[in-house]
Amino acid sequence: MSDPLIITIDGPAGAGKSTVAQKLAARLGLTYVDSGATYRAAALKVLEAGIDPHDEPAVVRLVSQTNVRVESNGGEPRVLIDGVDVTARLRTPEVTLAAALVSRLPEVRAKLIQIQRTFAQGRGVVMEGRDIGTVVFPHAQLKIFLKADVEERARRRLKQDSHDGREATLEKTAYEIGRRDQLDAERKISPLTPAADAIEIDSTHLQADQVVGQILDLIKKKGWAEFA
């Protein structure tokens, strides 16, 4: 295989994409990329500028003037807005909701998709998101669509949030996840949908390592000797 390996992992919030993508990338010696971080960075910039994320012209104008970069020098990837490291500020509920809003705008997506494509220049990646297999890398060698029941996704998110020291209830979290699913699925461009050639894995009753094991089996079946 001459082209660097591109593995896409798409699916709804809380399906386990980040954990699986990171473990898989480490196992295969590929670079892990979280495309959602670019939308979160744009959303943070909008909020910090005091712009209402529903104000589409203002959002588009601001994002077009914003420089978003992701650096991964081996360790945790860092997200930079106009040169400032904002990684620690991307996972608040406010940014999460604003990211779902700004990611509906075609101009915002066009800009961030360009940036996401540069991550795979000359190197193999495992990239997670919503439209990586359908839009960002339609010719990726392996596409996974990871899904899980909404209650299970809410349970996982709650566990993660309590680790972050934030409070939430299962009911509220399930509601928020359902609302984001709706925003992501109803979006006019790049709605959340599996690529025709994606392999679907339901992680509701699986641990992350079991999902990674299934993907590694697929890779072995494809006969990619250097990864087998």
State the residues that interact with ligand DC by CB under 6 A: 13, 35-36, 39-40, 99-100, 103, 129-132, 180, 184
Cross-strand pairs, 126: 7, 32
Q: In terms of CB distance, is 99 or 226 closer to ligand DC?
A: 99
Max CA separation in the chain (angstroms): 52
Q: In terms of CB distance, is 124 or 133 closer to ligand DC?
A: 133
Q: In terms of CB distance, is 92 or 214 closer to ligand DC?
A: 92
Q: In terms of CB distance, is 41 or 51 closer to ligand DC?
A: 41
- Packing angle, helices 170-186 and 150-163, rounded to 10: 120
Q: Closest approach of Cβ 36 to ligand DC, in Å?
A: 2
Instruction: With residue 176 as reference, give the H or E element that holds it.
Output: helix 170-186
Q: Closest approach of Cβ 128 to ligand DC, in Å?
A: 7
Q: In terms of CB distance, is 166 or 220 closer to ligand DC?
A: 166
Amino acid, single-letter form, for residue 148: A
Is the CB of residue 127 less than 8 Å from the CB of residue 49?
no
Q: In terms of CB distance, is 115 or 228 closer to ligand DC?
A: 115
Burial track 41-71 (b if 16+ CB lie within 10 A, e otherwise): bbbbbbbeeebebeeeeebbebbeebebebe
Q: Closest approach of Cβ 100 to ligand DC, in Å?
A: 3
Cross-strand pairs, 70: 79
CA torsion angle 27 150 99 139 (round to 10): 50
Amino acid, single-letter form, for residue 135: V
Q: Closest approach of Cβ 7 to ligand DC, in Å?
A: 14
